[in-house]
């Protein structure tokens, strides 16, 4: 069944770890701002009927679409940017797909998969099985324990959540003054299950200058 999906594309934030005067999501990758790669991919997905771009005014002109296009300003933290976008959702929207514009290589096939799982479970995210061995350490870098790799996923976006569940989850976060690092984190707080869909490693997030080199190599 087809549903009405609103997409939220997060293009706010200063990129402290990237540490560049232009925010990382607007650096050119092969003559195109990084944020436009995933914007164009979202435009290919039929069920997405509106795209809410969270962005500073000066970058709005980059985004053109045949779908309904809305611009909202973000906030200090990623969660504040998402919260602002939720206020702009069309009333008729049934699911919300949230994506980090710093992930230029999200592909249509993976996006369709996560949408399908969200329809079944109300909340789903892309992610990749942990590749490195992950250890927990103390504050002066001594090992405490090795974590079981089979239980660990590196979480990506898009994350797709049924609209009412997402709004309820975010209202809970703000009512209780909580911090979350991704959208499924809000859903978890309501003790609602989230399905993880195996994504592709190409859909990594450009976080540091090294990641930009990798993106250039891929292009
Ligand atoms: N983002 C946002 N609003 C914020 C912070 C982040 O819209 N206040 C967006 C970024 O544009 C990015 C995505 O959320 O596409 C993932 O965030 P991250 O990679 O952490 O970006 P920054 O927060 O800008 O970087 P850093 O954490 O290094 O400061
Ligand atoms: Mg951040």
pLDDT digits (tens, 9 = 90+) for 6-30: 999 999 999 999 999 999 999 999 9
Distance of CA 90 from the midpoint of ligand 1 (Å): 24
pLDDT digits (tens, 9 = 90+) for 161-203: 999 999 999 999 999 999 999 999 999 999 999 999 999 999 9
Give the mean pLDDT of 67-85: 98
Give the mean pLDDT of 196-211: 98
Ligand closest to the CA atom of residue 155? 1
Does 1 have pLDDT greater than 90?
A: no
Separation between Cα atoms, residue 6 and residue 70, nearest integer Å: 11
Q: What residues line ligand 1, using a CB cutoff of 6 Å?
A: 10-18, 25, 54, 74-78, 81, 100-102, 205, 207
Q: Which two tokens stand for residue 146?
A: 């090795």
Model confidence at 209, in pLDDT bands (50, 70, 90)?
very high
Does 86 have pLDDT greater than 90?
A: yes
- For a substitution probing ligand 1, which of 8, 10, 13, 154 has the most ligand atoms within 8 Å of its CB? 13
Indicate the CATH number for domain 5-127+155-218. Answer: 3.90.550.10
Can you give the pLDDT at residue 43? 98
Which atom of ligand 1 sits closest to the CA of residue 82? 7
- For a substitution probing ligand 1, which of 51, 78, 185 has the most ligand atoms within 8 Å of its CB? 78
Contact 163, 50 (CB under 8 A): no
Contact 9, 25 (CB under 8 A): no
Give the mean pLDDT of 144-156: 96
Q: Which two tokens stand for residue 106?
A: 């999200």
Distance of CA 2 from the midpoint of ligand 1 (Å): 31
């Amino acid at each position: 069944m087809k549903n009405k999906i609103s997409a939220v594309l997060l293009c706010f934030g200063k990129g402290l770890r990237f540490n560049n005067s232009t925010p990382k999501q607007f650096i050119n990758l092969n003559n195109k701002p990084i944020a436009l790669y995933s914007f164009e991919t979202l435009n290919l997905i039929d069920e997405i009927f509106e795209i809410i771009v969270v962005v500073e005014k000066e970058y709005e002109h980059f985004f053109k679409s045949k779908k309904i296009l809305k611009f909202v300003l973000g906030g200090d933290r990623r969660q504040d940017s998402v919260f602002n976008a939720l206020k702009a959702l069309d009333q008729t929207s049934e699911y919300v797909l949230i994506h980090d514009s710093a992930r230029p290589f999200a592909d249509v096939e993976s996006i369709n998969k996560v949408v399908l799982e969200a329809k079944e479970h109300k909340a789903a995210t892309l992610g990749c099985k942990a590749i490195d061995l992950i250890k927990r350490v103390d504050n002066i870098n001594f090992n405490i324990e090795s974590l079981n790799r089979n239980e660990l996923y590196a979480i990506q976006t898009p994350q797709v959540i049924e609209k009412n569940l997402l709004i309820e989850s975010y209202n809970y976060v703000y009512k209780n003054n909580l911090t979350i690092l991704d959208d499924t984190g809000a859903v978890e707080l309501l003790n609602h299950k989230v399905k993880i869909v195996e994504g592709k490693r190409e859909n990594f997030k450009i976080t540091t200058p090294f990641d930009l080199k990798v993106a250039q190599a891929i292009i």
